[in-house]
């Protein structure tokens, strides 16, 4: 199977967790996109009814609206039954790094309001220790971002880089920058997350600790489901 076929299979499997009457968080990124498309397909086929969705990005909102998924907001529904989202790394504790797609802030806000966070990945994203494959994206306000970057370097990052798009800093849906922080593996994800968020100018970081309840992993040999105990 190709990588895209693996992502499609994973997204479709995760979409089966959605039930009629639910408030659904729709994640961002290539794998989560397949889950959104499958939810829309199930709606059209009559397998689902009476659902409303909260997207984690403008990109996902546009996709969901085009596919006929009814949208709502956290102001209207403060609790979400299930969210399906992707990840950049998943460790054996089901802690994850997210944010390479650029939507980590809204993703974490939605995840915090969710009863069951379902993460969908292909097996290349499964690691023994966070920070060995992916940098930790950190969303920062633009004012004084160079000072914020220097403070991020002091957390032990071996490299920090402002995210670029077209040669200029990438701007998130909330109007912020992202600084990607590379570590030589992360021994204490909880402590690092706290240190990152304590830096003035940091809005949020891409360490999602203790949040995922289910991880659906696709590999060439099939799909496996991991659940937090």
| From 5, 47, 59, 107, the catalytic residue | 107
* Structural domains of the chain, count: 2
Domain membership of residue 185 as a residue range? 136-201
d(CA 13, CA 17): 8
How, if at all, do strands 52-55 and 212-219 pair?
unpaired
Residues near 193 by beta carbon (within 8 Å), at least 6 away in sequence: 205, 207, 209
Rounded distance between C-alpha atoms, residue 229 and residue 218, angstroms = 20
Cα Rg for the chain, rounded, in angstroms?
17
Q: How far apart are CA 209 and CA 117, in angstroms?
A: 12
pLDDT reported for residue 217: 95
* pLDDT score recorded for residue 2: 85
Q: What is the pLDDT of residues 80-118, one digit of tens each?
A: 999 999 999 999 999 999 999 999 999 999 999 999 999
- Whether 107 sits among the annotated catalytic residues: the reply is yes
Confidence (pTM):
0.95
Q: What is the CATH number of the domain that holds 7?
A: 3.40.50.1360
Sheet harboring 202-205: ordered strands across? 159-162, 177-182, 136-140, 202-205
Q: Are residues 120 and 160 in the same domain?
A: no
Within this chain, do residues 110 and 157 fall inside the same structural domain, yes or no? Answer: no
Does residue 228 fall inside a structural domain? no
């Amino acid at each position: 199977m190709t990588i895209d076929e693996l992502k499609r299979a994973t997204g479709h499997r995760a979409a089966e967790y959605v039930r009629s009457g639910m408030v659904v968080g729709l994640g961002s990124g290539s794998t989560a996109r397949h889950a959104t498309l499958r939810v829309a397909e199930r709606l059209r086929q009559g397998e689902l009814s009476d659902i409303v969705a909260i997207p984690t990005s403008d990109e996902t909102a546009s996709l969901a609206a085009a596919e006929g998924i009814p949208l709502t907001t956290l102001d209207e529904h403060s609790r979400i039954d299930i969210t399906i989202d992707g990840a950049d790394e998943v460790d054996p504790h089901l802690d994850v790094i997210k944010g390479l797609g650029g939507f980590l802030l809204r993703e974490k806000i939605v995840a915090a309001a969710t009863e069951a966070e379902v993460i969908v990945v292909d097996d290349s994203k499964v690691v023994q220790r966070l920070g060995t494959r992916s940098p930790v994206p950190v969303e920062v306000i633009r004012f004084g971002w160079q000072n914020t970057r220097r403070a991020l370097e002091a957390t032990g990052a071996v490299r920090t880089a402002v995210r670029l798009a077209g040669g200029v800093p990438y701007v998130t849906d909330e109007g912020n920058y992202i600084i990607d922080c590379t570590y030589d593996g992360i021994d204490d994800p909880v402590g690092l997350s706290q240190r990152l968020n304590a830096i003035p100018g940091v809005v949020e970081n891409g360490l999602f600790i203790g949040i995922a309840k289910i991880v659906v992993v696709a590999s060439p040999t099939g799909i496996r489901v991991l659940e937090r105990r």
